Amino acid sequence: MSQLLLFSDVHGDQAACRALVDQAREADVVVGAGDFCVMRRNLATPIDVLSAIETPTVLVPGNAESDEELREACADWDAARVLHGRGCTVDGLSFYGIGGGIPVTPFGPWSYDFSEEEAETMLADCPEGAVLVSHSPPKGAVDRDSSGQSLGSTAVRAVIEERQPVLTVCGHIHGSWGQDADLAETPVVNAGPEGILWDVERGEKGS
């Protein structure tokens, strides 16, 4: 049984990052689903705080930072692995990650975004039964903004339906932070910045 600490969208909030460092001591693996900074700026600040986490950590870039920028920022964080269109195994669990905004956001050129077609290609190697870490939620699950609009990704939804991850961790859509839903029997969690403990085996929130 593995206990995961799930979070996303800290957006440079150092207090939130410090709280996650404390929570990480309770987890077997930490999962960060993107948006560590704001508009590609000052990424080093939240990562410097989070890098105090010694628990094995899996990260994907959000749309607020690129894959390359996140890898560079995490270069000295020994516990962290950055995934984007690739996977790894941690604590006996298979993880697969995809970052960025999917589909392309309306935020302009600073946003690290991908089309559904690009995402489909990057998700092609996602294995069955993995923990899928996607900055963007799947279409129709934990993907509604504050106005109730569904903004998730059809490519992420399709890979969940086809590969049946044991868990999907996402963020991106702030209006659905802290919410979870089931999609094709896969729990999908829009983690948010406060951190959620999750038992992969039971698919239930920890105490």
- pTM exceeds 0.85: yes
**pLDDT in the model for residue 76:** 97
Q: Is the pLDDT of residue 115 over 90?
A: yes
CA–CA separation, 84 and 67 (whole Å)? 7
CATH of domain 3-205: 3.60.21.10
- Give percent of the chain above pLDDT 90: 95
**pLDDT tens column, 27-85:** 999 999 999 999 999 999 999 999 999 999 999 999 999 999 999 999 999 999 999 99
**Do residues 197 and 3 touch, judged by C-beta distance below 8 A?**
yes
- For 174, phi then psi, to 5°, come to -65, -30
